[in-house]
Amino acid sequence: MLTKDQIETAADRLYEAETSRKQIPALTLDHPDMTMEDAYAIQKAWVDRKVAEGRGVIGYKIGLTSRAMQMSSNIDEPDYGVLLDDMLLEDGATIKASDFLDPRIEVELAFVLKKPLFGDNVTIFDVINATDYIIPSLELIAARCLRTDPETGYTRKVYDTISDNAANAGIVMGGRPIKPMDIDLRWAGCMLYLNGQIEETGLAGGVLGNPLKGITWVCKRFAPHGVGLEPGQVILSGSFTRPVPVKAGDTVHADFGSLGGVTLNFD
């Protein structure tokens, strides 16, 4: 396992990558024996630094829950990251693409909780009972470490994405909020448009067979550490389309059919 100093140094490197707008090589190049626990410790150190600066935790994102995302990332297991208050973006907002490293957009369903969830025995029925509403969303991801090293071709590992807060950079919620029993969530679909052209389509069932299972997964992952999900928190259940790269001048619109749409503009 990494030492405390190594963990802090790695978190500092990710922090500086974000602030300087310059990606760093994958951390596993320097630490090939990094463990899952090391990666989450680095993530926590990064989040702690943000919180010390005045940021607040508003929830969590669950990543790599669909085969589409796992195949696009060459990673075969889910991960999670922390959502901070400055990551909330308004539906229809215009933001600078240059503020983010290798920005991409994913399509998700966001769960807003009204009751706590805790334990390794949490079921989808517990998630239904604890959910206030579900709302269409876009997740903006940005890789603070290189996905593929241009010199060596080295591809980042799951430990790199976890250390990088699962590459989370922003969340946009919009459209029509629904109660978890209003529809069969597996069949909630989306057409993702980039500058008026369809780039991706998908069904929420691509997330572990049912997006509700994404929430149970993170509860089970947190349980050994005595951590649970809290009322009012926002939980992104995972993307059911591949990430779409964006740049200055792009407009992204996610059409969720009867659930409405979500839009984000880049300049």
Rg of the chain taking only CA atoms, in angstroms: 17
Query: Total structural domains in the chain?
Result: 1
CATH label of the domain that carries residue 49: 3.90.850.10
Domain coverage including residue 262: 4-266
pLDDT at residue 70 in the model: 57
Q: pLDDT category, 224, cuts 50, 70, 90?
A: confident
**Span 116-134, mean pLDDT?**
96
- Alpha-carbon distance of 69 to 62, in angstroms, equals 11
Predicted confidence at residue 151, as pLDDT, reads 87
- Residue with the bigger pLDDT between 214 and 127: it is 127
Q: How far apart are CA 134 and CA 50, in angstroms?
A: 27
- The whole-number average pLDDT for the span 216-235 is 90
Mean pLDDT within 26-53: 95
pLDDT score recorded for residue 67:
60
- pTM for the whole structure: 0.92
pLDDT at 7: 97
pLDDT digits (tens, 9 = 90+) for 169-186: 999 999 999 999 999 999
DSSP letter for 115, please: S
Whether the predicted pLDDT of 73 surpasses 70: no
- Mean pLDDT score of the chain: 93
Query: What is the structure's pLDDT at 66?
Result: 56
Listed residue (11, 13, 36, 29) closest to 148, CA to CA: 29
Read off the pLDDT of residues 257-267 as tens digits, 9 standing for 90 and up. 999 999 999 99
pLDDT computed for residue 45 by the predictor: 97
Residue 32 has pLDDT above 70, yes or no: yes
Query: Which of 20-34, 71-85, 166-180, 206-220 comes out lowest in average pLDDT?
Result: 71-85
Q: Annotate 174-239 with DSSP letters as a single string.
A: -S--B-TTSS-GGG-EEEEEETTEEEEEEEGGGBTTSHHHHHHHHHHHHGGGT--B-TT-EEE---
What average pLDDT score do residues 9-32 get?
96
- With a pLDDT cut of 90, the percent of the chain lying above it is 82
pLDDT at 194 over 60: yes
User: Mean pLDDT across the stretch 145-164?
Assistant: 91
